[in-house]
Copies of this chain bind each other. A is one copy, B any other.
Amino acid sequence: METRPNSIEDWPSRAWNLLSKLRDQSPLVQCITNFVSMDLMANTLLSAGASPAMIHSIEEIPDFTPHARSLCINVGTLSSDWLPAMKAAVVLANKFRKPWVLDPVAAGASGFRLNACLELVGMKPTVIRGNGSEIIALFKASLGASKGVDSSHESTDAMEAAKSLAQASGAIVAVSGAVDIITDGNRVVGAHNGVPMMQKITATGCAVTALIAAFVAVDPLHALEATASAFSIFGIAGELGMNMAKGPASLRMHLIDSLYSLDQVALLSHTKITSL
């Protein structure tokens, strides 16, 4: 039996309240991320109202990380010299009780990457956000389940993997897909916003992970709700953007513009989050 049934959850209002809080507080979000996505992640965070900081040098972690409100770790272009800084930042985030989010990009692409991801999963992320292949790869902890950075599994196939991973790790596990799935291992919520063409823009997955980091920064005690809201809002920005887009590059532009100017009326009427 669900302790917090959807019938009493007013998701649109919750999402709007979180976005308003984010815009008011402009939380500092530290991103240790990949080279491909830095631009889109920073611009996504700025458009949502957050304050991004792409600071990854291990020399800077002790001084800087304690000032961040949340941390986003993304292994997209991982190399062995970046991993210690990621771990050092995570240790500090945990010490200072800051929420942190893990994006296990292409988790199954190599043994090195999978092991790094498993180590990070073991360090108690607040949220893990991946596509179906990545979440399944983490769950199976085996090579070959992920083909590059694109998903070759439908997110619905990954629901059981996500629930198991959430239970084992203690993290909220979120799976991007036609319907985005968010689970704490028990409760499962679906975010039904977004358009398929967003997959044709590089780093949209990374960008939504960064947005999740901003949302959990302003509501760290309700990470599942913050994650679902971030998914839905990013998806709504995509839907509104799609009304003006002629292809992936103009969609990218209109998505960011729409995220920046998203108002209460549009948000309340578009938010589609349900229990699954």
Contacts and interface: CB of A to CB of B under 8 A. Distances in A.
Nearest to A259: B247
A261 B249 contact: no
A79 B54 contact: no
A55 B247 contact: no
Number of contact residues on A: which range applies? Answer: 35 or more
A173 B61 CA distance: 28
A77 to B, nearest CB: 6
A250 B257 contact: yes
A121 interface: no
A258 B248 CA distance: 9
A252 interface: yes
A54 B77 contact: yes
A77 B56 CA distance: 7
Contacts of A112: 57, 59-60, 63
B76 A54 contact: yes
B28 A36 contact: no
A81 to B, nearest CB: 8
A67 to B, nearest CB: 7
A108 to B, nearest CB: 9
B109 A80 contact: no
A163 interface: no
Interface string A97-113: 00000000010011111
Contact of A253 (B38, B113, B250): B250
Contacts of A245: 257
Contacts of A28: 147-148
A42 interface: yes
Interface of A: 26, 28, 34-36, 38-40, 42-43, 46-47, 51-60, 62-64, 67, 76-80, 106, 109-113, 143, 147-150, 200-203, 245-250, 252-261
**For the complex of A and B, 8 pairs with smallest distance between CB atoms:** A247-B257, A249-B256, A63-B110, A42-B202, A60-B110, A59-B112, A57-B79, A53-B148
Given A63-B109, A63-B143, A249-B252, 20 more contacts: A35-B54, A36-B39, A36-B54, A39-B40, A47-B200, A51-B148, A55-B110, A57-B77, A57-B79, A59-B80, A60-B109, A60-B110, A64-B109, A200-B260, A246-B261, A247-B261, A249-B257, A249-B260, A250-B253, A250-B257
